């Protein structure tokens, strides 16, 4: 979710905002209904995971956190790392590092608690 927040903050950079207002594109990507739907789905994942953490049995919840956390780390590596390296920004670095740390901690604690059972 922080990656999406970073993307949204990035839109307010003067060059990108002007590009979006002029063309409806951001760095060659058309921001249409499909992209907005994808962003909406991605924003729902943390909410769904919070709900599942309250309703699933502990062992299933731990595995769900491990699997979703690893997938999210992979997606962040594929989508955010190139932006992080190519055109770093203070807000992007903050959000990407915080997201990475949080995801690693989620996976670590889920794995660690799995070992105790």
- In this predicted model, what pLDDT tens digit does every residue of 14-51 receive, in sequence order? 777 888 888 888 777 888 899 889 888 988 988 999 99
List CB contacts of 2: < 8 A, sequence separation 6 or more: 95, 96, 98, 99, 102
**Residue ranges per domain, the chain?**
2-116
Nearest CA-CA partner of 94 in 13, 17, 5, 11: 5
pLDDT of residue 3: 63
7-16, 42-51, 87-96, range with greatest mean pLDDT: 42-51
pLDDT above 90 (res 55): yes
Alpha carbon distances (Å) from 106 to 10, 27, 57, 116, 117: 26, 32, 17, 16, 17
pLDDT of residue 86: 80
């Amino acid at each position: 979710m922080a990656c999406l927040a970073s993307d949204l903050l990035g839109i307010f950079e003067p060059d990108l905002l002007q590009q979006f207002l002029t063309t409806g594109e951001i760095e060659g990507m058309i921001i249409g209904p499909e992209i907005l739907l994808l962003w909406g789905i991605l924003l729902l994942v943390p909410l769904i995971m919070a709900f599942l953490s309250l309703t699933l049995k502990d062992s299933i919840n731990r595995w769900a956190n491990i699997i979703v956390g690893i997938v999210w780390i992979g997606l962040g590596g594929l989508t955010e790392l190139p932006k992080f390296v190519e055109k770093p920004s203070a807000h992007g670095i903050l959000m990407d590092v915080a997201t990475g740390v949080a995801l690693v901690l989620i996976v670590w604690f889920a794995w660690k608690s799995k070992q105790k059972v």
